[in-house]
Structure 1
Amino acid sequence: MTTTARRASPAKIINSGRPDSGRSSTRRPSRVRASNRGLRPNFLGASASVVWLIIVLIPLYWIVITSFRSQEGFFDDHPLAFPAQPTLDNYVLVLENDFARYLMNSAIVTVVAVALIVVCGFLFAYTISRTTSPRVRKLFNLMLLGLAIPLQATIIPVYLMIVKAGLYDSLLAIILPSVAFGLPITVLILVNFMRDIPGQLYEAIRIDGASEWVTIRSLALPLSRPAITTVAIYNGLNVWNGFLFPLILTQSADNRVLPLALTSYQGLFSINVPAVIAAVVLSSLPIIALYILGRRQLLAGMTAGFGK
């Protein structure tokens, strides 16, 4: 009897020393309920997502099926019905009318402009993020003013400068303004990303005797690769789809890019809508492929450096 009482007394003492022991059984169901509430399906959000997906897919579906219609069947069939006699004549017509030249011009303008934007923007951002000079800060603030200036408001001064420089009706007339308007957002993204690089890494590589260019090539450039990919894809989309600069700063068909070339498929009294749609589909394929390949880097780089 005494042994059992002695054995039972420690258990009573332990249980009495746990003020939450009696409440543990009542707390567990509440936690389970809270977790179950978080796992409940959101029917309202899912329904809104489905509706938005339908709204986005219907125009894309119309564009694709319209490119396979004939010019006569464009007005006969229902707009959303699949063509009764699908044809590839629209794509053949587009490819036969100097589409390769327009594609090459757009590729040259986009690649050269994006390369200049990335190189100049990276060097500017490295200088701004690594120096505390008031002059550099003022230069950075002055550069950010370019984000507040719309492109349409500067088209007349840009036109006059291009004409006086003797660059009118050339691909360089499109490249230079595109670089100027792409630098502010590029520098902003790269500066915010490069400020997150720890200063101890720069001190360590400087102790090892690395020069400024070695530091840029071996440290800043590899660590800034996500942000560089982001600005490259973002500016590539803008330059590829640019229409105002090619319209104002070029004239001849030899220097015509794809967005401007789409207007050449319009007649004086009639418009071959299926052929124009086929040209739109062909011109959007390269940039869609580029976005699919780099969409993760684009989202990662856009959100990096702004979470402080």
Structure 2
Amino acid sequence: MRRRPSGARSATGRRPHYLAGAGSLVWLFLVGLPLYVMLAASVRSRSDYARRGPLAFPESVTSDNYTGAFTSGFGQYFVNTVIVTVCVVALVLVLVPPLAFAIVRSRSRLLSGVFRLFLLGLAIPAQAVIVPMFYLISQAGLYDNLIGVVLPTAAFCLPVSTLILSGTMRDISPELYEAMAMDGAPPRQIFFRLVLPLSRGGLSTITVFSALQAWNGFLFPLVLTQSESTKLITLGLYNFQTEHGIDIPGLLAAVVLSTMPVLLVYLFARRALVQGLMGVGGK
């Protein structure tokens, strides 16, 4: 019977990497500790949190922080954020697929140049154009209106979404385009019957991306809205800060409520999002 040589690999063919395991544990601790503090504080009373500190286990679990968040107007902010997110996603899904299809199928140098100019939006941060954006929205009579938040948010989602979807459409085999063209199918029929069904991964990606951008948006709601009726979630969190201090358990309960939709979207659509981003640029 032969002895197994020292240092040989395990049955799986891989050696244990203790340094990577230790690093993973450190990363898990750094990520898990803030999550624990947030979830534990959201079900603790304000006096318990102030007396025993953020790391202590709750003496008693209470839902007062969650109910207090909605009674303080957080429900209206939640509805406004849903409206803005749905409108932004709808605009992106209406505008981006025809634009990406034209970019992929057209051989025009003019359209290619327009696409490169369009992609300059990737290099322009929102902070650089917020002043002219405020002027345009005010002149259009959309200041302190949810539409005034929807339009610039969707505009800043278009470059990335177009880049992602055009990369997905380039992965479609040219033979399929040629086969439908030889059958006499017009471009409109090719777009609806061939391109859209085969671009579901890219469409899912731009849907998730634009929804996250709209849901987590802060700069445009901060500058382009003012009244309580048009506030979004990211601004509504300021209501928990008063001249007497900060209601930390109530604030963290509101943070939990605001992150739940984003977490659910990520859990159900993370595979489509990663695959779509990996496919940017085509083959």
What range is the shorter-chain TM-score in?
over 0.9
Report the AA paired with residue 153 of structure 1.
Answer: A
Q: What CA distance in whole angstroms lies between the structure 1 residues aligned with 2:227 and 2:269? A: 34
Matched residues in 1 for 2:194 and 2:100: separation?
14
Q: Give the Cα separation in 1 of the matches to 2:11 and 2:268.
A: 37
d(CA) in 1 for partners of 2:97, 2:10: 46
Q: Which amino acid aligns with 2:246?
A: I
Match of 1:9 in 2: none
Following the alignment from structure 1 to structure 2, what is the Cα–Cα distance between the partners of residues 292 and 65? 22
Q: How big is each residue's C-alpha offset from its partner over 1:95-130, in whole Å with a ceiling of 9 and x where there is no partner?
A: 212222211110110011011112211111111011
Larger Rg: 1
Question: C-alpha displacement at 1:36, in angstroms?
Answer: 6.8
Shift of 1:77: 0.7
Name the structure 2 match of 1:138.
113
Listed one character per residue, the Cα deviations across residues 231-267 of structure 1 (whole Å, up to 9, x for unaligned) are 1111211110101111110111111111111112221
* Change beyond 3 A, Cα 1:205–1:307: closer
Q: Which runs of 5+ in 1 are unaligned?
A: 1-28
Task: Give the superposed CA RMSD.
Answer: 1.9
Amino acid aligned to 1:53: L
2:20 corresponds to which residue? Answer: 45
Partner of residue 179 from structure 1, selected from 142, 149, 154:
154
Do 2:240 and 2:250's aligned partners in 1 also have CA atoms closer than 8 Å? yes
Task: Show structure 2 runs of 5+ residues with no match.
Answer: none
Are the aligned partners of 1:112 and 1:175 in contact in 2 as well (CA < 8 Å)?
yes
CA shift, 1:35, in A, is: 9.3
Partner of 1:11: none
Distance 1:139 1:97, change over 3 A: same
Give secondary structure in 2 for the equivalent of 1:97.
helix
CA 1:135–1:93: 2 relative to 1, 3 Å: same
- 1:196 and 1:301 mapped to 2: Cα distance? 11
| Cα distance in 1 for residues equivalent to 2:12 and 2:111 | 52
Superposition pairs of residues 53-64 of structure 1, within 5 angstroms: 53-64=28-39
Structure-1 residue corresponding to 2:260: 285
Instruction: Return structure 1 stretches of 4+ with deviation > 3 angstroms.
Output: 33-38, 305-308
Match of 2:199 among 213, 224, 229: 224
TM-score computed with the length of structure 1 as normaliser:
0.86
Does the 8 A contact of 2:205 with 2:273 survive in 1? yes
Contact preservation (8 Å) 1:159, 1:249 = yes
Q: Determine whether 1:107 maps to 2:77.
A: no
Change (3 A) 1:242 1:305: closer
1:250 to 211, 225, 246: 225
Greater RCO (CA < 8 Å, at least 6 residues apart): 2
Q: Which residue of 2 aligns with 1:17?
A: none
Whether the aligned pair in 2 keeps the contact of 1:77 and 1:83 (CA below 8 Å) is no
Distance 2:171 2:260 in 1: 35
1:148 aligns with 2:123: yes
Q: State the SS of the aligned residue for 1:179.
A: helix
Which residue, out of 43, 49, 52, partners 1:77? 52
SS of match in other structure, 2:201: helix
1:166-220 CA distances to partner (integer Å, 9 max, x unpaired)?
A: 1111110000000110001111111122111111101111222222221111111
The reply on whether 1:270 has 2:245 as its aligned counterpart is yes
Specify the code of the residue in structure 1 equivalent to 2:19: L
Q: Which of 59, 64, 89 is the matching residue for 1:89?
A: 64
Within the alignment, does 1:295 sit opposite 2:261 as a pair?
no
For residues 148 and 11 of structure 2, the distance between their equivalents in structure 1, rounded to whole angstroms, comes to 61
Identity, % of aligned pairs? 43
Task: State whether residues 163 and 280 of structure 2, in contact with CA within 8 Å, keep that contact through their aligned partners in structure 1.
Answer: no
- 2:42–2:249 Cα contact (<8 Å) kept: yes
Of residues 119, 138, 141 in structure 1, which corresponds to 2:94?
A: 119
Amino acid at match of 2:37: W
SS in 2 for 1:128: helix
| Equivalent AA in structure 1 for residue 64 of structure 2 | D
Could you state the TM-score of these two structures normalised by the residue count of structure 2? Answer: 0.93
The CA deviation at 1:42 is: 1.9
Q: What does the per-residue CA deviation read over 1:132-168, in whole Å, with 9 as the maximum and x for residues that have no partner?
A: 2111111111111111111111100000000000111
* Match of residue 160 from structure 1: 135
Aligned counterparts of 2:282 and 2:102: Cα–Cα separation in 1: 22
Give the 3-state SS of the residue equivalent to 2:95 in structure 1: helix
Q: In structure 2, give the amino acid aligned to 1:63.
A: M
Change (3 A) 1:72 1:37: closer
